[in-house]
A and B are shown apart, each in its own frame.
Chain A
Amino acid sequence: MSGENYKYTLLLSSLPVHPTELFETRQPPISRIQLDKRLALLDNEDADDLARIEALLHWSKMKELDDEAVVKQGMVMWRAIRNPFLKDIVMWRLELRTILTALRRRRDGESLTLGAPFDGFGERLRFIKKHWRESAFGMDALLPWVRQASELIEQDRPLELERLILELIWRHYQRVGQGHYFDFPAVVIYVLKWDVINRWTHYDKEQAVLRFDELVSAGLDGVSIEFG
């Protein structure tokens, strides 16, 4: 009656509530250090599941591997997640990434035939290959955002694409989070939403220029250019 559904009442009540609108947010409602302290209240099995989910969905926790290895390793981790509801959430996000990858590869001039290798997540890989020439891979009715994303990629508008995708992810988490208030899925959705906010609020033009300069300097280290 109050078991699993209210398992993490203390933990979730101790976390500040996420804002309704993602793009109005200026900073995450709680620091990662504080969040990790609160997440120490998770039991071991749930903590392992959360670590798996974050490892699958967080770019910074992914290792540099080729597509085949990423998919193979990802599927092993995905199967290890115990909760089917959470598996669906993770697969939804991985599938979204696969579709974006396909759109970018097509923009770069790749042409996939049915027999060609194409590594990705989800059940739409064959469908994507079959409808490779169609702007939204024939998924207009099912996934209306694919056409928008395709147009933004073709027009080389990465910021608008990022906003579209983050908004899509945010709305999806809000929708699937309905009915989960104090259980483990609610904790996972909270952390995933935190990751989205963190990603959005860390986009900083000045910081990006500084980072770019650092990378250029590192790349040119030891190289002398003489003018005139």
Chain B
Amino acid sequence: MAEVLVILGWIGLYAPMALGAIGSIIGCAVAGQAAIGAMLDTETGHGRYVGVSAMPSSQVIYGIVVMFTLNRPITEANASGIFAVGVLAGFALMFSAIYQGQCCASAIHASKAKPEIFGLSVAPAAIVEGFAVFAFIFALVISGGIPQS
């Protein structure tokens, strides 16, 4: 049982980083494809399309910070806490990155046809980012209650 707990602890430790990275990979790939497509159809504004398509990369950074915050010697006493916080924060970051990528793709597609709505079209992606920040901040806060050893 103790070994299983330790394994779960290690999974929880690396989960925010790994799941955040998976989310960022998918999100940036979807938004990036939209940006490349938009470049084929427009003459200007390419830089901002690429900029928007990179928005889902922030989740992997949050994941790294959560991982370092959770980093401590894994013991029976703290493994379950690390697992719970790490995995749940990781899933929140992963889903937020994926759906943010979809928001970014839609924003690029819409602002290509109506450049004047560019700022407003990015708002949904920013709102999704806000939820990722919630998950990140409160993972840091709650990890303070997990025993150091």
A interface list, Cβ under 8 A from B: 1-2, 6, 9-17, 38, 181-182
Q: Is B101 an interface residue (CB 8 A)?
A: yes
Considering the chains assembled together, what is the distance between the CA atoms of A17 and B101 in angstroms? 20
Considering the chains assembled together, what is the distance between the CA atoms of A13 and B26 in angstroms? 17
Measured between C-beta atoms, what is the minimum distance from B24 to chain A in Å? Answer: 12
Would A1 and B34 be within 8 Å (CB), given that A15-B41, A16-B41, A16-B113 are in contact? no
* Interchain Cβ contacts under 8 Å between A and B, 22 examples: A1-B95, A1-B98, A2-B26, A2-B102, A9-B30, A10-B36, A10-B37, A12-B37, A12-B109, A13-B33, A13-B35, A13-B36, A13-B38, A13-B40, A13-B109, A14-B37, A14-B41, A15-B37, A17-B113, A38-B40, A182-B30, A182-B109
Would A11 and B26 be within 8 Å (CB), given that A2-B101, A6-B105 are in contact? no
Residue of B nearest to A9 (CB): B33
Considering the chains assembled together, what is the distance between the CA atoms of A13 and B29 in angstroms? 14
- With an 8 Å Cβ cutoff, the count of chain B residues facing the other chain is 21
Residue contact B37 to A13, C-beta cutoff 8 Å = yes
Considering the chains assembled together, what is the distance between the CA atoms of A2 and B32 in angstroms? 13
Residue contact A13 to B112, C-beta cutoff 8 Å = yes
11 extra interchain contacts, Cβ-Cβ under 8 A, other than A6-B30, A11-B37, A17-B109? A1-B98, A2-B98, A6-B33, A9-B37, A10-B33, A12-B37, A13-B37, A13-B41, A14-B36, A15-B41, A17-B112
Considering the chains assembled together, what is the distance between the CA atoms of A135 and B55 in angstroms? 58
Considering the chains assembled together, what is the distance between the CA atoms of A9 and B35 in angstroms? 9
Measured between C-beta atoms, what is the minimum distance from A77 to chain B in Å? Answer: 30
Residues in B whose Cβ lies below 8 Å from that of A181: 106, 109
Residue contact B30 to A14, C-beta cutoff 8 Å = no
Residues in B whose Cβ lies below 8 Å from that of A2: 26, 29-30, 98, 101-102
Residue of B nearest to A41 (CB): B37
Q: Is B108 an interface residue (CB 8 A)?
A: yes
A13: contacting residue among B98, B101, B102, B105, CB under 8 A = B105
Residues in B whose Cβ lies below 8 Å from that of A38: 40
Considering the chains assembled together, what is the distance between the CA atoms of A2 and B100 in angstroms? 11
Residues in A whose Cβ lies below 8 Å from that of B36: 10, 13-14
Q: Which of B105, B108, B112 has the most CB of A within 10 A?
A: B105
Residue contact A13 to B30, C-beta cutoff 8 Å = no
CB neighbors of A among B1-52 (8 A): 26, 29-30, 33-38, 40-41
Residue contact A10 to B34, C-beta cutoff 8 Å = yes
Residue contact A13 to B108, C-beta cutoff 8 Å = yes
Top 4 nearest A-B pairs by Cβ distance?
A: A13-B37, A14-B37, A14-B40, A17-B113
Measured between C-beta atoms, what is the minimum distance from B129 to chain A in Å? Answer: 17
Residues in B whose Cβ lies below 8 Å from that of A6: 30, 33, 102, 105
Measured between C-beta atoms, what is the minimum distance from A24 to chain B in Å? Answer: 15
Considering the chains assembled together, what is the distance between the CA atoms of A1 and B105 in angstroms? 14
Q: Which of A12, A14, A17 has the most CB of B within 10 A?
A: A14
Residues in A whose Cβ lies below 8 Å from that of B40: 13-14, 38
Residue contact B34 to A9, C-beta cutoff 8 Å = yes
Q: Which of B34, B106, B108, B113 has the most CB of A within 10 A?
A: B34
Residue of A nearest to B29 (CB): A2
Considering the chains assembled together, what is the distance between the CA atoms of A15 and B108 in angstroms? 12
Considering the chains assembled together, what is the distance between the CA atoms of A86 and B78 in angstroms? 53
